[in-house]
Amino acid sequence: MKNIFLLFIIIQLFFSNSISANELKFESSPYLQAHKNDPVNWYPWGRGVQEALKEDKPIFLSIGYSTCHWCHVMQRESFKNEALAKLLNKSFISIKVDREEMPQIDALYQELYLKVKGRRGGWPLTLFLTPKREVFYIGSYIPLHKESYAEGLETLVPKLAKDFYTHKLPTLKKKPRELFESAKREKINAKILAKDLKESYDEIYSGFGVSKKFPEASKLSLMMDLAALNHDKELENFTYEMLDMMALRGLYDQVEGGFFRYSTDAAWEIPHFEKMLYTQAELIPPYVRAYLKTKKELYKNVVEETVAMLDKHYKKNNLYYSASNADTHEKEGAYFTFTKEEIGQTKFEFYPNFKEQMHINIEDEKRPSFFNDAREKLLKVRETKEYPFIDTKINTAWNALMVEALYSASVINEKYAKMADKTLQALTDLMFDKGALYHQTLLGLAPTQKGLLEDYSFFISALIAGYEVDYDAKKLDFAEYLLQKSKEKFYKKGIWYLSDDGLKIKAGLLDKYYISPLSKMMQNIIKFASLKGKLSYEKFFLESMQVLQSHLEEKKSEVPALAEAYLMQKLQIMTIKSSTKNLIKNRELIESVNYPFVLRKKELYSDYLVCSLRKCYLKTPNLKKILVTLP
């Protein structure tokens, strides 16, 4: 009888939880799962759009991701509020989107936010739409109650509901007039791009931005290229200053390694404490590149510590999780900051710089002599703390970025190439099926979401990077296959799209958070022209560039990865050809050359040959003679 009673209670609890959960209970995304018990009757994107049309109800759309601090704040303040939930459920179909699961949806509305507001959005992104997805209100974080900077949701929601049902809403124009149409343009070259970068560079604190700062790896990479191309010492110094500031100040986790997503201040001191896989993956290559040029130990340390940190917290079955939260038990930075007592175990001087605690920030030009000893003590302190929530999604694009980073780092230590091979194989096994890539999944679940442009673009780039380590022709063949598939799926009548799901969302050129998939694809295409010696690839590049040229001329260094692709074609990639043995033996020397656009390709002969796309310059057994022929 007792067992029957317990069974009855369990059944009641099960059905009680099932009833209280909203439509997100069927989703695999950890971010969406975290909202399944909100009183807001959330729908995922596809079913929500259908439901809005069926019921002729407007849409309340909220876009975020699982390690976004202000997304969690908005959930606690608003989406768990019963009164607000009642208002939303009565008048709207509420849709939750994980921007990491559907970056194409996020990109569409981030672009609209930029055009309407004149500044970039971010997350959370909050929108109100008609059933046909016409936007009539757009914002970012919106508080529950009215504040000096924004109207609160408790009054905004009923007002917008009334506007919709009485047809008083002015829908935002989908295609506001582009500012660059009337702007005076000038032909782009390396000198103009360098000038534009210098004008936006913060010479006081280094980097880009006057308030919060993102690492902007694509802009950093372009800066390194331009310094080399123009023999520009000032720009070269800016590069090393920025690398130093990011490595020594608070953007970098001085205890365990790895970079936080961005700093909340201009001086890089206090970060937003989430760690993203893509941030680590994109910053490893410039530190490798800087180490080869300078032999500065700090740069090598950053590479080794960052990879070790990822292996410790984010790696399973040779694949990498997506990100970790800034909060621990709703306390921002709790894991990463220290009390006075904890700091007292070290020689660091305690000063509270974050909520009466201290976040380690080295203000000298190098690590102090006691650094390693202090770090060991602080590691023991961290062992007593709970690590923040980790988003365990396996994202194809971000894992591919990490594979490329590991191949880059293998010039420092060969073990990274073996790690990259294992991750590449694991990623292929999990995410490539029946001739196509998939976008993401959780370990143990078969992927179902078809691959996006970013998955193909970053995967291709990783394969090219892998080829330049071991010269396995299968990697290049696979990359070429994926390039052809990309063209079939995402390229229509001169326009690149983020997905092939019928949404027709054009690919953008934003590099601020991580590299634009389209710009990366443009780099891939022109690299293939050189590696394969095929003018057809250059023709394809120029065809795509026709549509993008006006954006480059107007935005200049604000689209750094596209600018880099443009320079690769304009100034020519130089390909050094020789035997596999010669190329592997001299890899570090070749990668240390000043000219930034150099590829390596295996041939059967033991001499060295250097070629641009249209002609070859010199064939000799002396590599140094080859290197001096480079521009």
- Dihedral sign (CA 344, 350, 356, 361): negative
Calculate mean pLDDT across residues 129-147.
Answer: 89
Cα torsion 623, 628, 630, 631 to 10°: value is 170
Selected residue with higher pLDDT from 300 and 151: 300
pLDDT band at 195 (very low <50, low <70, confident <90, very high): very high
**Beta-carbon count within 10 A of 242 CB:** 26
pLDDT bucket at 10, cuts 50 / 70 / 90? very low
pLDDT of residue 120: 74
Average pLDDT over residues 582-608: 96
Q: For the chain, what percent of residues have pLDDT higher than 90?
A: 78
Place of tokens 């070429």: 480
3-state SS of 348-375? Answer: CCCCCCECCEECCCCCCCCCCCCHHHHH
Q: Locate 280 and state its tokens.
A: 């680590």
- Contact of 280 with 514, CB cutoff 8 Å: no
In this structure, what are the phi and psi dihedrals at residue 5, rounded to the nearest 5 degrees? -65, -45
The sign of the dihedral angle between the CA atoms of 553, 557, 561, 564 is positive
> For residue range 537-554, what is the model confidence (pLDDT) as tens digits?
999 999 999 999 999 999
Mean pLDDT calculated for residue range 309-329 = 96
- Please state the rounded mean pLDDT for residues 518-530: 97
Q: Which residue has the higher pLDDT, 308 or 613?
A: 308
Distance from the first to the final alpha carbon of the chain: 87
How many of the other CB atoms lie within 10 Å of CB of 354?
Answer: 19
CB atoms within 10 A of CB 145: 12
* Range in 8-12, 364-368, 407-411 the model is least confident about: 8-12
Tokens in use for 394? 């396996």
State the pairing for strand pair 393-395/93-98.
unpaired
E runs forming strands in 252-322: 262-263, 271-272, 275-276, 315-316, 319-320
Q: Which pLDDT score, from 0 to 100, does residue 182 have?
A: 32
Is 194 strand, coil or helix? helix
Which whole number is the average pLDDT over 37-65?
93
Bridge partners (DSSP) listed for residue 127: 61, 138
Give the pLDDT confidence score for residue 4 in this predicted structure: 53
Residue 627 pLDDT greater than 70, yes or no: yes
Distance between CA 84 and CA 74 in Å, rounded?
12
- What's the whole-number average pLDDT of the chain? 91
> What pLDDT is attached to residue 171?
65
Q: Of 506, 573, 569, 614, whose CA–CA distance to 109 is shortest?
A: 506
Q: Is the pLDDT of residue 335 over 60?
A: yes
pTM for this entry: 0.84
- The rounded distance, in Å, linking the Cα atoms of 153 and 573 is 53
Mean pLDDT confidence for 150-173 = 82
> From CA 345, how far away is CA 151, in angstroms rounded?
47
pLDDT (0 to 100) of residue 214: 95
pLDDT at 439 over 60: yes
| Strand, helix or coil for residue 393 | strand
User: pLDDT band at residue 112, thresholds of 50, 70 and 90?
Assistant: confident
The closest of 573, 564, 588 to 223, measured between CA atoms, is: 564
Q: For residue 183, name the pLDDT band (cuts at 50, 70, 90).
A: very low
CA atoms within 13 A on the CB side of 596: 22
Per DSSP, the residues of 82-94 read: HHHHHHHHHH-EE
Cis peptide bond prior to 124, omega within 30° of 0: yes
Query: What digits encode the pLDDT tens for the residues 495-520?
Result: 999 999 988 999 999 998 999 999 99
At residue 276, does pLDDT exceed 90? Answer: yes
Q: pLDDT at position 113, please?
A: 86
Average pLDDT for residues 169-182, to the nearest whole number?
45
* Cα–Cα dist 116/92, whole Å: 23
Spatial CA neighbour of 289 closest among 610, 566, 588: 588
Q: How is residue 78 annotated by DSSP?
A: I
In SS3 terms, 590-621 reads as HHCCCCCCEEEEECCCCCEEEECCCCEEEEEC
Please compute the mean of the pLDDT values over residues 85-95 and round it to a whole number.
94
Is a pLDDT exceeding 90 seen at residue 148? no
Segment 4-17 mean pLDDT: 48
Q: In this predicted structure, what is the pLDDT of residue 631?
A: 86
Report pLDDT for 24: 93
Sketch out the chain's domains with CATH numbers.
2-165 (3.40.30.10), 190-335+386-570 (1.50.10.10), 572-628 (no CATH)
Of 316-320, 474-478, 508-512, 587-591, the one with minimum mean pLDDT is 508-512
pLDDT-based confidence at residue 149 (cuts at 50, 70, 90): low
User: pLDDT grade, residue 172 (50/70/90)?
Assistant: low
Residue 398 and residue 461 in contact, taking contact as beta carbons nearer than 8 Å: no
pLDDT band at 176 (very low <50, low <70, confident <90, very high): very low
Residue 374 has pLDDT above 90, yes or no: yes
Q: How many CA atoms lie within 13 A of 242 on its CB side?
A: 28
- List, as one string, the DSSP characters of 335-347: TT-B-HHHHTTSS
Structural contact between residues 517 and 397, judged by C-beta atoms closer than 8 angstroms: yes
Q: Is 579 exposed, middle or buried (0-12, 13-18, 19+ CB in 10 A)?
A: middle
